[in-house]
Amino acid sequence: MRRKRVLLTTVTLAVTGALTAGVLVTMAPAASAGTTLRAAAAEKGRYFGAAVATGKLSNSTYTTILNREFNSVVAENEMKWDATEPQQGVFNYSGGDRLVSHARANGMSVRGHALLWHQQEPGWAQNMSGSALRSAMINHVTQVATHFKGQIYAWDVVNEAFADGGSGGRRDSNLQRTGNDWIEAAFRAARAADPGAKLCYNDYNTDGVNAKSTGIYNMVRDFKSRGVPIDCVGFQSHLGTTLASDYQANLQRFADLGVDVQITELDVMTGGNQANIFGAVTRACMNVSRCTGITVWGVRDCDSWRGSDNALLFDCNGNKKPAYDSVLNALNAGTGIPNPTTTPPNPTTTPPNPTTPPPGGAGCSATVSANSWTGGFVATVKVTAGSGGTRGWSVSVTLPGGTSVTGTWSATASGSSGTVRFANVDYNGQLAAGQVTEFGFQGNGTAPTQTPTCTAS
């Protein structure tokens, strides 16, 4: 045993070189460098994803790379409106389901792309406007998010709704013409349908502080201040031969609003700078603790929508390009974040060590907050363990008259109206003193405002 510890110390010293003996006494051995993108990202608590055309899943060169290198996927086209609702009220989930089952079988999380986008609207929707379109689009969000409920790590709820150029305003579209509140209505519908998915706004030409990204920034700040349910912002990052010098600062200013950020569609023009830019984008994400992952928009150069730009990490024969090494090195050199996001659904509490249960009985407390809209709400309850920790807990929430609970996550509900009792599920019952966990529920009617009572066991 003693021999082994000495050996590990020697290895650590060899790897890190410049450490003093005094520091080494308390240091664990250095984590080994990941040899694939997915392993390297996962070691840093992040995902590394690719956009997938499901038709290519039968191509073995493609699928070998996909399964080896990526732990997140997004459908390049199959979850878009034209694919999922080709006729009004007639839904087709075949491509999306195929991707989800491939992801499950290969330990990958799934980004959902995209519930609402002015492009790729089915023909019937292109011909609609006003309140008919508003209800059709909200129904689309509800149906699709409900179908994939529990399978999606993060949804692009709304894609590319801001105008290019200097206005910083919204892009004109039939969606926009239903009223400026269409985006928040879509986010609320998505939250109600799949409360476990992170909800993102996604756009391009937002690769630095500019008029467009600032317009989006202002929207996110407004949403956060009014309780509109938004969790993340996607930066597509379809890049040319240069990278804005404030790329990372722009990510950080969004993160500072209290949302996650993700690089969602990365591809870079070929040329001398390609590897450097891929590396710089990866480093920027690693330097922002709320940057939870990176997705490249395809696997090999010839899978890319950018054709002769050769904009991806693998050539058409499946060989790794210099850009690949640049990304891998940046992942391995990056700073880790504590909560891995690679396995959906994402429990909000790390299961405590089962061999050392904390003593029970010293109480707990709970607070409730809610995002509400006319006729409904989504509530988040924060449970804090008292000085003795908990083995389990239950929280009683008193609902206003006429209000009922329609769905619960990270807890089990008894009853649905009046006073509803929520008990812990198996992974979040044991809390150390002062540890916090969250659960949530959605309901019809009016959100509760009374402070809940918490009982620890």
Which residues carry out catalysis? 265
Q: Which of residues 11-30 bind ligand G2I (CB under 6 A)?
A: none
Q: What residue type is 394 in one-letter code?
A: S
Kindly determine how many residues on this chain lie close enough to bind ligand G2I according to the rule CB under 6 A. 9
Secondary structure letter of residue 56 according to DSSP: G
- Angle ∠(104,109,114) on CA atoms, nearest 5: 115
Nearer to ligand G2I, 161 or 420 (CB): 161
Contact set for ligand G2I, span 357-376 (CB under 6 A): none
CA distances from 260 to 67, 156, 281, 436 (A): 25, 13, 16, 20
* CA 299 to each of CA 37, 74, 181, 271, 426: distance values in angstroms, whole numbers, following the listed order: 12, 12, 36, 18, 38
184 in contact with ligand G2I (CB under 6 A): no
Among 183, 189, 247, 166, which Cα is nearest to 220's?
183
173: helix, strand or coil? coil
Handedness of CA 245, 247, 250, 256 (dihedral sign): negative
- Contact between 265 and ligand G2I by CB under 6 A: the answer reads yes
Residue 114: strand, helix, or coil: strand
Residue nearest to ligand G2I (CB): 305
- Beta partners for residue 413, in sequence order: 422
Q: How far is the CB of 456 from ligand G2I (least distance, A)?
A: 47
Contacts (Cβ under 8 Å, ≥6 apart) of 390: 358, 360, 364, 424, 429, 430, 431, 456, 457
Q: From residue 111 to residue 150, what is the string marking binding to ligand G2I with x (rule CB under 6 A)? A: --------xx------------------------------
Considering the complex, what minimum distance in angstroms separates the CB of residue 96 from ligand G2I? 14
88 versus 119: smaller Cβ distance to ligand G2I: 119
Contact between 301 and ligand G2I (CB under 6 A)? Answer: no
Q: Does 54 bind ligand G2I (CB under 6 A)?
A: no
Helical axes 211-226 vs 182-193, angle rounded to 10°: 60
Of 234 and 360, which CB lies nearer to ligand G2I in the complex structure?
A: 234
Q: Per DSSP, what are the bridge partners of residue 202?
A: 159, 234
Among 69, 76, 184, 207, binds ligand G2I (CB under 6 A): 76
For residue 221, the tally of other CB atoms under 10 A from its CB is 16
Tell which one of 54, 84, 109, 236 touches ligand G2I (CB under 6 A): 236
Report the residue number, 76 or 231, with the smaller CB distance to ligand G2I. 76
Indicate whether 305 belongs to the interface with ligand G2I (CB under 6 A): yes
Q: Looking at beta carbons only, is 201 or 204 nearer to ligand G2I?
A: 204
- In the complex, the smallest distance separating the C-beta of residue 305 from ligand G2I, rounded to whole angstroms, is 4
Q: Tally helices (H) and strands (E) across the chain.
A: 13, 17
Cβ closest to ligand G2I, residue 50 vs residue 454: 50
Nearer to ligand G2I, 206 or 430 (CB): 206
d(CA 402, CA 248): 47
Q: Which residues bind ligand G2I (CB under 6 A)?
A: 76-77, 119-120, 159, 204, 236, 265, 305
